[in-house]
Chains A and B, each alone.
Chain A
Amino acid sequence: MLEVKDLRAGYYKKEVVHGVSFTVERGEFVCIIGSNGCGKTTILKNLLGLIKPFGGQVTLDGKDALTMNDRERAQHFAYIPQAHTPPFPFTVADVVIMGRTPYVNRMATVSEKDKTIAFRALRQLSIDHLADHVYTKLSGGQQQLVLIARALAQQPDLLVMDEPTASLDFGNQQLVLSQMKKLTQQGMSVLMVTHDPDHALFCADKVLVMENGRLIATGTPAEVITKENLERIYDSKVCIRDIVTDEGEQVRVAIPLL
């Protein structure tokens, strides 16, 4: 579905991403891991049209994604930022209906279709009971779910997330990640940048390992989240273990050694 070919990008004249290629298929959960400043976020910014790449190709179902205008791009790519507080007490309904921005006309009339789609997004994340609540007063995890619902209301092909769980507590991280995993099982594609290899192990179908603006490994979490790769990109000691949970499920974890 999404094909990124030899993407080179950066800020002003400085190249940060040196020729990165990967694909995201429909319903696939792709994670990018790498140390701070290796260019993970830069890749996302290019996909979202926030900065222009120096070179390379980005196609979505064969269509050039780099020449799309803002409105068109927003119908295909939705961005889920880290939950943060806007200056005004919008309600959850106010926030989620904003996801219809790339579809409303000049007069900003909200059609019944827009409302239904936004409501389905709320319901998909089981937060329709929060609709009348004030967004700024919700917990971080709930705010994050609202932002995911807003992104779903954009009816995108791909959800793009930049460390969505960075400011969430343990339980809320789990809540958000399991919801994201559920969405990919329903056919949504996700591209997520994460700091935590465990998150990639928990939910990714494919992991891109980045170092200094280049991909050094691409594959399933089991293939590429290895002791060697993690120690190389994070420059630290790591222990990888396969463990069996209380429910009898086998999972892999990465443990940092202090």
Chain B
Amino acid sequence: MSAKVRKEGTSLESVSQDTGELLDEVRIETDDVRSKANAVFGSKVPLWLKIAIPIALIAIFVVSFSVGRFPISPGELVKTLSNGIAHHVGALFGNDIPIADERMYTVVFKIRLPRVLVVILTGAALAVSGASYQGMFKNPLVSPDLLGASAGASVGACLGLLLNMPTIVIQLWAFVGGLTAVGMAVWLNKFVKYDATLGLVLGGILVSTLFQSGMSLIKFMADGDDKLPSITFWLMGSFSSINSRDFWLILLPMAVGFALLLLECWKLNVLSFGDEEARSMGINTARTRLIVIFASTLLTSVTVAVAGIVGWIGLVIPHLARALVGPNYRVLLPTSMFVGSGFLLIVDDIARLLTTVEIPIGILTAILGVPFFVFIFKRNMKGWS
């Protein structure tokens, strides 16, 4: 460094003698700065990870098709998939390509495909909203139901179950319940006019408590022989009754949520330094917070609506992703989505394989999530406060 400075100094002195030489010197200096700047601020994610993560996800995706009560060999899977796709594409152009094996087609396209896709979306949604919340609340121990999204969605769904509503209505109520609870937390924060982020946490705790009592009340009133078990079972989370309608139902809100959060990734980096600093760097923090809360709530409520409560993903996966690629949200958010999808796919496969009666997914994510979390936390405490 000091040698460099001295070199520049001498060229400055020779300015009157040879301006051309100085200009060359300056040009070299800028090129040098530019290349170094690119090296310093370029992506620091190792190439093997960029390749390994998507490949791992694809591998898990394929395996998830094959395993279950009705095992499918890779060969059969490829045959059924290509035949099924040809059938559907053919139908678009008026060609009728018959389905070779009706039974196989039903398993792959009507049962496994929607299930796998919904699991992927759910895992990504919970992980990405958890990661976003951890940055926004400047706290690595926060999960996406901090502001009451899960509690609200549960109350909505349980009410629907209690009143014997059709599935679609239950899902809608869960969604509305989640949004209502978080809306109340946001409103409480405005009402008490306390510290912007702490006020939100306070509001979230109050609203969660309120809705949890509401849920207890519903359980208390529910018929113990029939309603109560179905409510309890639903709250534990499950993908066993997913069909393709569920997938299409959640696709749009999920896409909106993902897009909103991914667009805020830069601001999430800055926001994790605190409100005042973020504002002094030109961020409209109030608006950013609302966008992140809205998107995360959308994602969480939708997952609760189709699959019940799937805990721990939103807390654990961001940490795993951070251990892999670092805390920069521009890389962390997409990585969280990949890792969340992969993790939940594996857990769902285990749920399908382990016993003849499927273990509720929420129980498994917690049982697997806790040791996992301890492991990551122990290995990656360095640099954390």
User: Chain A residues in contact with chain B, CB under 8 A?
Assistant: 48-50, 69-75, 77-79, 81, 84-91, 93-94, 97-99, 101-102, 104, 106-108, 110, 112, 114-116, 118-120, 122-123, 126, 128-129, 131-132, 134, 136-137, 154, 160
Contact = CB atoms under 8 A, between A and B. Distances in A.
A87 B42 CA distance: 23
Contact of B135 (A79, A88, A114, A122): A88
Given A87-B139, A93-B40, A136-B383, A48 B279 contact: yes
B277 A101 contact: no
5 nearest CB pairs, A to B:
A74-B282, A89-B383, A102-B282, A119-B37, A79-B280
B3 interface: no
A134 B280 contact: no
A108 B134 CA distance: 20
B12 to A, nearest CB: 15
B282 A101 contact: yes
B7 interface: no
A89 B327 contact: yes
Interface of B: 1, 30, 33-34, 36-38, 40-42, 44, 134-135, 138-140, 263, 265-267, 269-270, 272-274, 276-277, 279-284, 322, 326-328, 330, 382-385
Nearest to B36: A119
Contacts of A123: 33
B33 A119 contact: yes
Contacts of A91: 44, 326, 328
Contact of A88 (B265, B284, B327): B327
A115 B34 CA distance: 8
B157 to A, nearest CB: 33
Tell me whether chain A's interface is mostly helix, strand or loop, or mixed.
Answer: mixed
A50 B138 contact: no
B37 A112 contact: yes
Given A90-B327, A128-B40, A120 B33 contact: yes
A126 B384 CA distance: 25
Contact of B269 (A48, A73, A90): A90
Residue of A48, A81, A86, A122 with most chain B CB atoms under a 10 A cut-off: A86
A131 B277 contact: no
Nearest to A12: B193
Contact of A108 (B265, B279, B384): B265
Given A87-B384, A101-B267, 20 more contacts: A48-B276, A49-B280, A70-B279, A70-B282, A75-B282, A81-B274, A86-B273, A87-B134, A88-B140, A88-B327, A89-B383, A108-B266, A110-B41, A115-B37, A116-B34, A119-B37, A119-B41, A128-B40, A154-B281, A154-B282
Nearest to A88: B327
A48 B280 contact: yes
Contacts of A128: 1, 36, 40
A50 B280 contact: yes
B233 to A, nearest CB: 37
A221 to B, nearest CB: 27
A7 to B, nearest CB: 18
A84 to B, nearest CB: 8
Given A79-B276, A131-B40, A70 B284 contact: yes
Nearest to B42: A115
A86 B382 CA distance: 13
Residue of A72, A75, A91, A122 with most chain B CB atoms under a 10 A cut-off: A91
A78 B281 CA distance: 7
Contacts of A73: 282
Contact of A99 (B1, B263, B281, B384): B281
Given A87-B138, A88-B135, A115 B282 contact: no
A19 to B, nearest CB: 25
A101 B327 contact: no
Nearest to B381: A89
Contacts of A86: 138, 272-274, 385
A88 B384 contact: yes
A134 B382 CA distance: 10
Contacts of A89: 326-327, 382-384
A112 B34 contact: yes
9 contacts: A70-B283, A71-B284, A72-B282, A74-B282, A85-B385, A90-B269, A101-B270, A112-B34, A118-B37
Contacts of B277: 79, 81
Contacts of A49: 279-280
Contacts of A74: 280-282
A132 B328 CA distance: 13
A12 B211 CA distance: 33
A115 B40 contact: yes
Contact of A101 (B41, B265, B266): B266
A50 B263 contact: no
Contact of B266 (A77, A104, A119, A126): A104
A98 B273 contact: yes
Contacts of A110: 41
A71 B135 CA distance: 21
B108 to A, nearest CB: 37
A122 B382 CA distance: 24
Contacts of A115: 34, 37-38, 40-42
B37 A87 contact: no
Given A89-B384, A108-B330, A101 B281 contact: yes
A130 to B, nearest CB: 10
Contacts of B276: 48, 50, 79, 81
A86 B139 CA distance: 9
Contacts of A84: 274
Contacts of B37: 112, 115-116, 118-120
B30 to A, nearest CB: 8
